[in-house]
């Protein structure tokens, strides 16, 4: 039994932490130091640890309460989540007003104009002031219940700041901040994962993650923009007042709302934001114009698709007109040929654009893009500009149609396009362009980590035919290297030492380094965990591969194909001869009591990067994973460890400091 006093204390702590979360995250106005905040949190956690009945779902400790989930349940929206009609010009905004006057003749209208956040819409339900459910829009009628993920967003209140009885439902937009988006993509690039095209996709992808621990690491935020339902609390008579009230209750509401008393004011505010939006750290793709009076909103009603009382005004996309000088074809690591338009340099949204992707041949045909064409290019939320359309009236008859080369522009080998693929590929087994990309990938920090083997040097080595295959890296010697441009004796020696060192990299790194399609770092780790040697992996059937959780049919097929190819067989044979470590050393494994154990590393370690630490334990027969669960045996805690540490404590897992971890490793392995 928990005494009343302790219960009260826990409640007080929860309220204080909610208050400080609000001040810090929503208002950007911290009231206490981080240290003081941590002390409050610590005390609450300890109480909850001791008395589990205190651990309620809306406690601030539960922002990442949940373990990874299998999937999300579907929930029905009581009020359909509608979309908005789009307008693109001042004239269309005026037409909106004329329509309103036709619907409600003789009435005056006030409007609220607000930024249209380019994110993912979501809804939240509170009962008696407690967050009980959060979900995605889905098809408007049914969405996914993603409460655990939404709770990780610190600006979403778990408890409202005032007593609000009954049930209320609010809706808004989750978005990823721009600066955070760049960070996330940088990390994904390093990890060999596909990049998100824009912050909206990144936000959508993040909310779909099944592990709230990972969602928490994504820089997500939200704005609430509408209050849709209330069973008991009385809604004020205007939209602006509802938002003010929601703000008072702790929701994050856009600070850029404008009450406009005429359509001219609406248009003026929309125009103001065309430039202003660039100053925000989140994407805004237009403005939303809403009739302020809720009574008028109700009488105007909705069509099946969208409300009649609101429209979106979409900003003109960041477009420019330019000319296609040429179309070049790049060759990637897997031989994929990508046509790229070389443009007359054009300033657009802060940068000078010289290239635009054309994706593939079908896309070029569809848009009928020709060399010499004048085109409109657009930089949407995406990183690489796109060619939107050709200005056919500007054609002078000299434009040239583009054909995908039938031979690789770099090596001259045949180019093939499989019937079910949009991509054409060079099948040349020694294509220098592919080879350069493959070597660069092989040497990457996350792969074999050969420092000093950079792009420039790779260009030299391949162009001078000193390297014809990955395995040739291990044939390089001092006289060859030091004879190259800008390669002194010292740097050559260093490089050779790095190359030598790479021979003992872990199996998972080697698998990743081979550049098998669809096998990223994580996939490589999973494969290495399931097959003790590269030889075993090379013999695995597709069925066997597919039976591994997280290895899908596409990856299984790709792995199989990789090992079937003659040239890859030869490559592996040669790597073996150069003495690369192609298996996890079983001998070593048997000796260590760590075989089969599972580690999680959290926080920053002083002596190793996290990847190095993962390699270390893998060599000793253990595995490393990213998420804390009951199945984890040890959690190694570095500096500034956060939620994983908390979760590990909650689950009662063995927690090691870095020092303890090092000691343990040293005692098991003479090497370290």
Residue 104 beta carbon to ligand IVH: minimum distance, rounded to whole angstroms: 18
* Strand spans (E) along 535-667: 598-602, 623-625, 634-637, 654-657
- Give the residue with the Cβ less far from ligand IVH, 61 or 121: 121
Which residue, 195 or 274, is less far from ligand IVH as judged by CB? 274
117 binds ligand IVH (CB under 6 A): yes
Known catalytic residues are 116
Span of 13-21, 77-85, 325-333, 364-372 interacting with ligand IVH by CB under 6 A: 77-85
Binding string, 137-176, against ligand IVH, x = CB under 6 A? Answer: ------------------------------------x---
Choose among 566, 576, 568, 331: nearest CA to 436. 331
Q: Are strands 142-144 and 74-76 parallel, antiparallel or unpaired?
A: antiparallel
User: Which position among 312, 317, 487, 655 is part of the footprint of ligand IVH (CB under 6 A)?
Assistant: 312
Q: Is 310 helix (H, G, I), strand (E, B) or coil?
A: strand
Among 17, 26, 75, 84, binds ligand IVH (CB under 6 A): 84
- Identify whether the C-beta of residue 150 lies closer than 8 Å to the C-beta of residue 317: no
Among 47, 168, 226, 582, binds ligand IVH (CB under 6 A): 226
225 lies in the binding site for ligand IVH (CB under 6 A): yes
Minimum distance of ligand IVH from residue 29's CB (angstroms): 23
Query: Site residues for ligand IVH, window 170-189 (CB under 6 A)?
Result: 173
Using the rule CB under 6 A, is 114 a contact of ligand IVH?
Answer: yes
Q: How many residues does the chain have?
A: 672
Cα separation of 604 and 540, whole Å?
A: 37
The nearer residue to ligand IVH, 180 or 307, going by C-beta atoms, is 307
Residue 95 CB, shortest distance to ligand IVH, in Å, is: 18
Structure-token pair, residue 112: 């609220």
**Interacting span for ligand IVH (CB under 6 A) from 111-119, 384-392, 435-443, 664-672:** 111-119
Q: How many CB atoms lie within 10 A of CB 317?
A: 16
Report which DSSP code applies to 592: S
Residues 260-289 that bind ligand IVH (CB under 6 A): 288
User: CB–CB of 90/265 below 8 Å?
Assistant: no
Part of the chain binding ligand IVH (CB under 6 A), chosen from 291-299, 306-314, 507-515, 612-620: 306-314
Residue closer to ligand IVH by CB (options 64, 174) is: 174
Piece in contact with ligand IVH (CB under 6 A), picked from 2-10, 81-89, 230-238, 356-364: 81-89
Nearer to ligand IVH, 312 or 317 (CB): 312
At its nearest, how many Å lie between ligand IVH and the CB of residue 72? 19
Under 8 Å between Cβ of 614 and 528: no
| 121 contacts ligand IVH (rule: CB under 6 A) | yes
Task: Report how far residue 644's alpha carbon sits from residue 636's, in angstroms, rounded to the nearest whole number.
Answer: 10
Of the candidate residues 116, 200, 444, 509, the single one contacting ligand IVH (CB under 6 A): 116
| Helix and strand element counts for the chain (H, E) | 25, 24
Q: Which two tokens stand for residue 515?
A: 């550049």
Residues that contact ligand IVH, how many (by CB under 6 A): 14
Interface pick for ligand IVH out of 83, 194, 231, 612 (rule CB under 6 A): 83
Stretch that binds ligand IVH, among 27-35, 265-273, 304-312, 590-598 (CB under 6 A): 304-312
Q: Does 380 engage in binding with ligand IVH (CB under 6 A)?
A: no
Tokens (6 digits) for 336: 């994929």
Tokens of 111: 């409007």
Percent helix, strand, coil in the chain (nearest 5)? 40, 20, 35
User: Considering the complex, what minimum distance in angstroms separates the CB of residue 141 from ligand IVH?
Assistant: 14
User: Would you say 118 or 399 has its CB closer to ligand IVH?
Assistant: 118
Closest CA to 651 of 634, 669, 639: 634
b/e for 71-95, b at 16 or more Cβ within 10 A?
ebeebebeebbbebbebeeeeebee
300 binds ligand IVH (CB under 6 A): no
Cα–Cα–Cα angle for 607, 613, 615, rounded to 5 degrees: 140
CB of 176 to ligand IVH, least distance (A): 14
| R_g of the chain, CA atoms, integer Å | 29
Residue nearest to ligand IVH as judged by C-beta position = 121
* Count of Cβ atoms closer than 10 Å to residue 297 Cβ: 18
x/- map, 465-504, ligand IVH, by CB under 6 A: ----------------------------------------
DSSP 134-168: EEE-TTSSEEEB-HHHHTTSTTS-SB-SS---SEE
Q: Give the residue, chosen from 17, 75, 82, 240, that forms a contact with ligand IVH under the rule CB under 6 A.
A: 82
User: Do 134 and 145 contact (CB within 8 A), yes or no?
Assistant: yes
Cα–Cα distance between 530 and 551 in angstroms, integer?
11
Nearest one of 154, 130, 138, 135 to 146, comparing CA atoms: 135
Least Cβ distance, residue 175 to ligand IVH (angstroms):
9
Least separation in angstroms between CB 273 and ligand IVH: 12
Q: Binding of ligand IVH at residue 26 (CB under 6 A)? A: no
Residues of this chain that interact with ligand IVH (CB under 6 A) are 82-84, 114, 116-117, 121, 173, 225-226, 288, 307, 310, 312
């Amino acid at each position: 039994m928990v005494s009343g006093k302790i219960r009260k204390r826990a409640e007080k702590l929860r309220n204080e932490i909610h208050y400080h979360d609000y001040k810090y995250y929503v208002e950007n106005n911290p009231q206490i130091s981080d240290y003081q905040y941590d002390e409050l949190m610590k005390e609450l956690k300890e109480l909850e640890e001791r008395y589990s009945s205190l651990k309620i779902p809306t406690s601030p400790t539960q922002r990442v309460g949940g373990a990874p989930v299998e999937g999300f349940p579907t929930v029905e929206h009581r009020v359909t989540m509608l979309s908005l009609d789009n307008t693109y010009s001042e004239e269309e905004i005026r037409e909106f007003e004329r329509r309103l006057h036709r619907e409600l003749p003789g009435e005056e209208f006030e409007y609220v104009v607000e930024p249209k956040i380019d994110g993912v819409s979501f809804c939240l339900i509170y009962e008696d002031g407690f967050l009980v459910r959060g979900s995605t829009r889905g098809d408007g009628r049914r969405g996914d219940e993603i409460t655990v993920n939404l709770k990780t967003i610190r600006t979403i209140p778990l408890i409202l700041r005032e007593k609000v009885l009954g049930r209320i439902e609010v809706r808004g937009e989750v978005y990823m901040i721009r600066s955070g988006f760049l960070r996330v993509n940088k990390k994904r690039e390093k990890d060999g994962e596909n990049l998100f095209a824009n912050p909206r996709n990144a936000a959508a992808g993040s909310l779909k993650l099944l592990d709230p621990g990972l969602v928490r690491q994504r820089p997500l935020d939200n704005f609430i923009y509408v209050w849709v339902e209330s069973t008991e609390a009385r809604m004020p008579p205007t939209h602006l007042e509802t938002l003010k009230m929601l703000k008072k209750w702790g929701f994050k509401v856009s600070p850029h709302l404008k009450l406009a008393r005429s359509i001219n004011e609406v248009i003026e505010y929309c125009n103001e934001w065309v430039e202003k939006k660039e100053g925000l750290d989140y994407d805004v793709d237009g403005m939303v114009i809403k009739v302020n009076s809720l009574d008028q909103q109700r009488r105007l009603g909705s069509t099946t698709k969208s409300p009649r009382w609101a429209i979106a005004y979409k900003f003109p996309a960041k477009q420019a007109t330019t000319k296609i000088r040429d179309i070049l074809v790049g060759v990637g690591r897997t031989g994929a040929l990508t046509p790229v338009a070389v443009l007359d340099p054009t300033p657009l949204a802060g940068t000078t654009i010289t290239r635009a992707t054309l994706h593939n041949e079908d896309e070029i045909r569809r848009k009928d893009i020709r060399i010499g064409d004048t085109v409109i290019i657009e930089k949407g939320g995406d990183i690489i500009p796109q060619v939107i359309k050709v200005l056919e009236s500007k054609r002078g008859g000299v434009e040239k149609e583009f054909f995908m080369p039938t031979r690789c522009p770099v090596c001259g080998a045949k180019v093939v396009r499989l019937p079910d693929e949009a991509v054409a590929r060079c099948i040349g087994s020694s294509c220098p362009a592919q080879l350069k990309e493959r070597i660069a990938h092989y040497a990457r920090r996350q792969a074999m980590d050969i420092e000093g083997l950079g792009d420039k040097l790779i260009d030299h080595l391949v162009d001078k035919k000193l390297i014809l295959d990955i395995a040739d890296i291990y044939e390089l010697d001092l006289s060859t290297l030091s004879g190259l441009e800008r390669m002194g004796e010292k740097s050559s020696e260093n490089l050779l030492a790095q190359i030598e060192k790479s021979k003992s990299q872990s199996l998972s790194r080697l698998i990743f380094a081979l550049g098998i399609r669809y096998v990223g770092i994580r996939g490589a780790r999973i494969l290495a965990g399931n097959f003790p040697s590269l030889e075993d992996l090379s013999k695995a059937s597709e069925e066997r591969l597919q039976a591994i959780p997280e290895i899908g049919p596409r990856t299984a097929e790709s792995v199989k194909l990789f090992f079937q190819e003659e040239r890859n067989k030869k490559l592996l044979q040669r790597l073996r001869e150069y003495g690369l470590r192609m298996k996890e050393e079983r001998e070593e494994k048997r000796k260590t009591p760590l075989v089969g154990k599972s580690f999680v590393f959290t926080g920053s370690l002083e002596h190793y990067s996290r990847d190095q630490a993962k390699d270390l334990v893998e060599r000793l027969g253990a595995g490393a994973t990213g998420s804390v669960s009951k199945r984890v045996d040890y959690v190694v805690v570095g500096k500034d460890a956060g939620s994983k540490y908390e979760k590990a404590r909650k689950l009662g897992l063995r927690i090691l400091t870095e020092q303890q971890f090092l000691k343990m490793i040293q005692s098991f392995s003479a090497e370290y």
